[in-house]
């Protein structure tokens, strides 16, 4: 692979907890995560609530500080940039959130919302903006006449298209997509997914796609990284991970995913217990209290398993070379 | 199989300017004891209003239009008032909602909340109610129920709170359980646990379950029958396996084609064009017509729900023998 566009190395983000001045244990939201994304590629980051995936996305864009590790964008360490230089980099990376209604200013027309970033980053003259807005709206499948409307006049799916057009307005190379279709109706989800695939093909964008729905991930991602309590537990090509997951947690996720085919699923793995809190991450392998691997042993309680190369991907499990057979 | 719940021609209306709109527009179905029926639809389809109507909880100025029939094991739910209505709500019909946090009282222990519900319906003393509450919390899968009963909602995870909600819904030993998006706010691994629990309770208590959801994936393994709702009407009704194998209504087909799959060849998704219309903007004739790839001449007229096989029906002119000159 040529030089990756985004290279994250051993990224750490801890939050203080408890009451001032004494404080409690740190919330270890992101705990040493590394991955790379190339232009034209989609990496899906999969995990449950509390896994740290949304924190990771925010740190990645330097929307909040890190406590360790580096993020390189096109070779440049973004935490080494001063404010001015960072502003220029910000143009190249954009984020799309789950709820398009919260992301749009209700008092701003669609056209003004899409043009705002162009003005901030001085892309084209104000005169050129209406034509550029029209072209962008068309590119995301909206009628350019909607530029004069306010967000409340639009449906959820149309609003998410506006948010995507606004992100594209500054000509980014990298989009963080944080559950972008989860709040949309089923019949509209497919429209937005198809649009994202289409835009990537046309513009060669790199995506970090944050999701909990593995069927959606299969549709959109080239590679998958599975996160559990602040660490990656398995990464690899999408088809390989979904067809033959090696980490017990990934196996449980694949098994629990709702599948619209009655009887298609083999024996279902139902994990006991809830995901533990990032305030009190279990020692050793963080997954050990919920693990069902027949070979799990004392080592899992004491020794942190590191990601190691296995098959076509990487797995952090002491017993990954003999995964449980569902 | 005799039905526990029978719903016939249910219409719910709300004022919209000078006229009234009917977000639920002539819904009818039945559920037998021990059966799980899924009511599937997107936002605005009328599925949640349908469930509120069963409990007579439609907020004013909304109302159930005359002509509807709601019968629970022979009891006419629409004839009930005051105490009689209270005896049905929560007692004979239990309810579980999507967000367990807003349905629980944050300043009462969960044991208190379950015991209180039991006492509201069964004349027993406090100690006995508390003992039953602990047993119920154990039955819904909370470990160490005696200790859990003394905890408050904020001390529990989302999945545990939903178990508590289910315990409260079961406290008065209902015959029918309505679960409205019971797992939509939960993580996938926890989702699987809750669905498993509902299924176990249905079997153990011979409950009738009405599962309301937007997620066809949730339905596939859990429901005996599926009702697909679109724009206020049931557009297809079928046993679950048949619905997924041979969906009959173009809307159902569209929904299934637009779902990403975990297995099988990876294909481009066939999205349904357009958006779900609001009740004030429902088109004349078949309400799916503007988004339908198969629309033809007769579709400007209102389609009826026609029987198309054993326990199967579809509201579509393609399946109506009266339509002529169309495809097939």
Name the residue of chain B whose CA is nearest to A47's CA.
B187
Read off the pLDDT of residues B315-326 as tens digits, 9 standing for 90 and up: 999 998 776 544
∠ CA B141-B146-B150, nearest 5°, is 105
Within 8 A of A48 by CB-CB distance, chain B residues are: 187-190
Interatomic CA distance for residues B1 and B133, integer angstroms: 33
Token pair, residue A184, equals 């949309």
Question: Nearest-CA neighbor of B101 among B162, B18, B24?
Answer: B162
Interatomic CA distance for residues B35 and B26, integer angstroms: 23
Residue B232 pLDDT more than 90?
Answer: yes
H or E segment at A33?
strand A27-37
A307 CB-near residues (< 8 Å, 6+ apart): A232, A233, A235, A314, A315, A316
At B247, the pLDDT band (50, 70, 90 cuts) reads: very high
CA A253 from centre of chain: 17
What pLDDT score was predicted for residue A326? Answer: 61
Cβ of residue B278 closer than 8 Å to a chain A Cβ? no
8 A C-beta contact, residue B317 and residue B327:
no
Q: What is the mean pLDDT of residues B62-87?
A: 92
Interatomic CA distance for residues A40 and A73, integer angstroms: 15
CB contact under 8 A, B276 and A49: no
Minimum distance, in Å, between the CA of residue A83 and any CA atom of chain B = 38
For residue B287, give the 3-state DSSP assignment: coil
Within 8 A of B191 by CB-CB distance, chain A residues are: 256, 258
- Size of the A and B interface in Cβ pairs below 8 Å: 136
Minimum distance, in Å, between the CA of residue A78 and any CA atom of chain B = 33
What pLDDT score was predicted for residue B325? Answer: 47
What pLDDT score was predicted for residue B327? Answer: 44
H or E segment at B255?
helix B250-258
CB contact under 8 A, A274 and B260: no
A129 CB-near residues (< 8 Å, 6+ apart): A115, A118, A119
Within 8 A of B276 by CB-CB distance, chain A residues are: 155, 185, 187-188
Question: Nearest-CA neighbor of B295 among B263, B259, B251, B257?
Answer: B251
Nearest-10 Cα torsion for B277, B280, B286, B287:
10
Question: Which of A48, A259, A271 is nearest residue B262 as measured by Cβ atoms?
Answer: A259
CB contact under 8 A, B255 and A187: yes
Helix axes B158-170, B126-139, angle to 10 degrees: 130
Question: Which of A49, A186, A194 is nearest residue B259 as measured by Cβ atoms?
Answer: A186
Within 8 A of A158 by CB-CB distance, chain B residues are: 275
Burial call A68-107: b when 16+ CB within 10 Å, e when fewer? ebebbbbeeebeebeeeeeeebbbebbbbbbbbeebbeee
CB contact under 8 A, A185 and B276: yes
Read off the pLDDT of residues B283-322 as tens digits, 9 standing for 90 and up: 999 999 999 999 999 999 999 999 999 999 999 999 987 7
Interatomic CA distance for residues A11 and B41, integer angstroms: 42
For residue A178, give the 3-state DSSP assignment: strand
Q: What is the DSSP letter of B278?
A: P
- Helix then strand count (H, E) for chain B reads 11, 13
8 A C-beta contact, residue B140 and residue B167:
yes
Q: Strands B3-16, B63-64: parallel, antiparallel or unpaired by DSSP?
A: antiparallel
Range B307-313 contact pairs with CB under 8 angstroms and sequence separation of 24 or more: B308/B248, B309/B238, B309/B242, B311/B225, B311/B237, B311/B238, B311/B239, B311/B242, B312/B236, B312/B237, B312/B238, B312/B239, B312/B242, B312/B248, B313/B236, B313/B237, B313/B238
Residue B99 pLDDT more than 60?
Answer: yes
Read off the pLDDT of residues A167-210 as tens digits, 9 standing for 90 and up: 999 999 999 999 999 888 888 899 999 999 999 999 999 999 99
Read off the pLDDT of residues A237-282 as tens digits, 9 standing for 90 and up: 999 999 999 999 999 999 888 777 766 555 678 787 777 778 888 9
Minimum distance, in Å, between the CA of residue B138 and any CA atom of chain A = 14
CB contact under 8 A, B269 and A193: yes
CB contact under 8 A, B42 and A185: yes
Q: What is the DSSP letter of A81?
A: -
Question: Nearest-CA neighbor of B272 among B211, B320, B230?
Answer: B230
Interface test mutation site (partner B, options A215, A227, A258, max chain B beta carbons within 10 A): A258
A92 CB-near residues (< 8 Å, 6+ apart): A73, A74, A172, A173, A174
Helix axes A129-139, A156-168, angle to 10 degrees: 130
Burial call B276-292: b when 16+ CB within 10 Å, e when fewer? bbebeebeebbbbbebb
Interfacial residues of A (vs B; Cβ cutoff 8 Å): 48-49, 155, 157-158, 185-191, 193-194, 197, 212-216, 218-219, 239, 242, 252-265, 268, 270-272, 274-275
Minimum distance, in Å, between the CA of residue B186 and any CA atom of chain A = 9
At A38, the pLDDT band (50, 70, 90 cuts) reads: very high
CB contact under 8 A, B260 and A193: yes
Interface test mutation site (partner A, options B239, B260, B274, B281, max chain A beta carbons within 10 A): B260
CB contact under 8 A, A219 and B266: yes
CB contact under 8 A, A189 and B270: no
8 A C-beta contact, residue A209 and residue A220:
yes
Token pair, residue A21, equals 């001045």
8 A C-beta contact, residue B197 and residue B166:
yes
What pLDDT score was predicted for residue B242? Answer: 94
At A2, the pLDDT band (50, 70, 90 cuts) reads: low
What pLDDT score was predicted for residue A278? Answer: 80
Within 8 A of A100 by CB-CB distance, chain B residues are: none
Interface test mutation site (partner B, options A140, A152, A262, A277, max chain B beta carbons within 10 A): A262
Residue A287 pLDDT more than 70?
Answer: yes
What pLDDT score was predicted for residue B328? Answer: 42
Residue A73 pLDDT more than 50?
Answer: yes
ipTM for the complex shown:
0.81
CB contact under 8 A, B189 and A49: no
From A157-171, A266-280, B245-259, the region with the lowest mean pLDDT? A266-280
Cβ of residue B214 closer than 8 Å to a chain A Cβ? yes
CB contact under 8 A, A260 and B240: no
What pLDDT score was predicted for residue A20? Answer: 67
Note the residue count of chain B: 328
Share of chain A above pLDDT 90, in %: 70
What pLDDT score was predicted for residue B267? Answer: 83
Which segments of chain B are extended strands (E)?
A: 3-16, 19-32, 36-40, 63-64, 69-72, 75-76, 93-96, 176-180, 208-213, 225-230, 233-239, 305-309, 312-315
Q: What is the mean pLDDT of residues A108-137?
A: 93
Within 8 A of B270 by CB-CB distance, chain A residues are: 190
CB contact under 8 A, B259 and A190: yes
Within 8 A of A252 by CB-CB distance, chain B residues are: 189
8 A C-beta contact, residue A305 and residue A229:
no
Q: What is the mean pLDDT of residues A29-43?
A: 95
Cβ of residue B275 closer than 8 Å to a chain A Cβ? yes
Burial of A220 (0-12, 13-18, 19+ CB in 10 A): buried
Burial of B99 (0-12, 13-18, 19+ CB in 10 A): middle
Interatomic CA distance for residues B283 and A21, integer angstroms: 62
- Other beta carbons less than 10 A from residue A135's beta carbon: 12
Q: What is the mean pLDDT of residues A18-45?
A: 87
Residue spans of alpha helices (H) in chain A: 53-60, 83-90, 100-103, 110-120, 129-139, 156-168, 186-203, 214-220, 238-243, 248-256, 298-302
Interatomic CA distance for residues B187 and A252, integer angstroms: 12
Cβ of residue B260 closer than 8 Å to a chain A Cβ? yes
Per the prediction, chain A carries an average pLDDT of: 90
CB contact under 8 A, B271 and A190: yes
8 A C-beta contact, residue B260 and residue A193:
yes
Token pair, residue B38, equals 């899924």
Read off the pLDDT of residues B126-183 as tens digits, 9 standing for 90 and up: 999 999 999 999 989 888 899 999 999 988 888 889 899 999 999 888 999 999 988 8
Question: What is the residue whose two structure tokens read 């590191």?
Answer: A306
């Amino acid at each position: 692979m040529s030089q990756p566009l985004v290279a994250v190395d051993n990224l750490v983000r801890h939050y203080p907890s408890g009451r001032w001045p004494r404080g409690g244990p740190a919330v270890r939201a992101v705990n040493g995560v590394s991955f790379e994304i190339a232009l034209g590629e989609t990496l899906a980051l999969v995990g449950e609530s509390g896994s740290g995936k949304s924190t990771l996305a925010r740190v990645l864009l330097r929307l909040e500080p890190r406590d360790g590790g580096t993020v390189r964008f096109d070779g440049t360490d973004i935490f080494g940039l001063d404010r001015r230089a960072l502003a220029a980099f910000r143009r190249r990376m954009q984020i799309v959130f789950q709820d398009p209604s919260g992301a749009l200013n209700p008092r701003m027309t669609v056209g003004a919302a899409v043009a705002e970033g162009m003005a901030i980053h001085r892309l084209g003259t104000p005169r050129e903006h209406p034509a550029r807005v029209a072209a962008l709206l068309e590119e995301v499948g909206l009628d350019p006449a909607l530029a004069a409307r306010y967000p409340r006049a639009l449906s959820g799916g149309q609003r998410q298209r506006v948010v995507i057009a606004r992100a594209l307005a500054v000509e980014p190379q990298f989009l963080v997509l944080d559950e972008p279709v989860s709040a949309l109706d089923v019949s509209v989800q497919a429209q937005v997914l198809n649009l994202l695939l289409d835009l990537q093909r046309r513009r060669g964008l790199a995506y970090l796609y944050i999701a909990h729905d593995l069927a959606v991930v299969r549709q959109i991602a080239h590679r998958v990284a599975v996160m559990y309590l602040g660490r990656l537990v398995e990464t690899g090509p999408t088809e390989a991970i979904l067809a033959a997951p090696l980490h017990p947690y990934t196996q449980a996720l694949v098994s629990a995913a709702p599948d619209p085919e009655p009887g298609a699923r083999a024996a279902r793995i139902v994990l006991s217990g809830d995901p533990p809190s990032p305030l009190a991450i279990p020692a050793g392998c963080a997954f050990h209290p919920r693990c069902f691997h027949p070979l799990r042993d004392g080592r899992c309680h004491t020794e942190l398993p590191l990601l190691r190369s296995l098959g076509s991907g990487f797995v952090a499990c002491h017993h990954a070379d003999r995964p449980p057979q569902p | 199989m005799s039905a526990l719940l029978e719903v016939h021609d249910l219409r719910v209306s709300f004022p919209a300017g000078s006229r009234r709109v009917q977000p639920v527009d002539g819904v009818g179905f039945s559920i037998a004891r021990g059966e799980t029926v899924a009511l599937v639809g997107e936002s605005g389809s009328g599925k949640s209003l349908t469930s509120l109507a069963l409990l007579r909880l439609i907020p004013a100025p909304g109302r159930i239009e005359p002509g509807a029939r709601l019968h629970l094991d022979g009891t006419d739910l629409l004839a009930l008032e005051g105490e009689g209505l209270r005896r049905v709500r929560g007692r004979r019909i239990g309810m579980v909602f999507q967000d367990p946090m807003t349905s629980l009282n944050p300043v009462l222990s969960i044991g208190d909340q379950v015991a209180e519900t039991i006492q509201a319906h069964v004349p027993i003393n406090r100690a006995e109610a508390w003992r039953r509450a602990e047993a119920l919390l154990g039955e819904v899968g909370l470990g160490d129920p005696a200790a859990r009963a003394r905890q408050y909602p904020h001390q529990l995870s989302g999945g545990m709170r939903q178990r508590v909600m289910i315990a409260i819904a079961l406290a008065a030993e209902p015959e029918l359980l309505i679960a409205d998006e019971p797992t939509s706010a939960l993580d996938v691994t926890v989702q699987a646990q809750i669905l498993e629990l509902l299924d176990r309770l249905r079997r153990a208590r011979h409950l009738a379950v009405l599962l309301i959801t937007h997620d066809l994936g949730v339905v596939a393994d859990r429901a005996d029958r599926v009702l697909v709702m679109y724009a206020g009407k049931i557009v297809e009704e079928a046993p679950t396996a048949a619905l997924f194998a041979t969906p009959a209504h173009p809307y159902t087909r569209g929904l299934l084609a637009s779902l990403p799959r975990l297995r099988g060849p990876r294909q481009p998704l066939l999205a349904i064009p357009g958006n779900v219309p609001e009740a004030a903007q429902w088109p004349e004739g078949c309400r799916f017509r503007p988004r339908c790839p198969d629309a033809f001449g007769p579709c400007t007229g209102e389609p009826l729900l026609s029987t198309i096989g054993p326990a199967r029906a579809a509201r579509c002119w393609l399946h109506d023998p009266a339509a002529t000159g169309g495809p097939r």
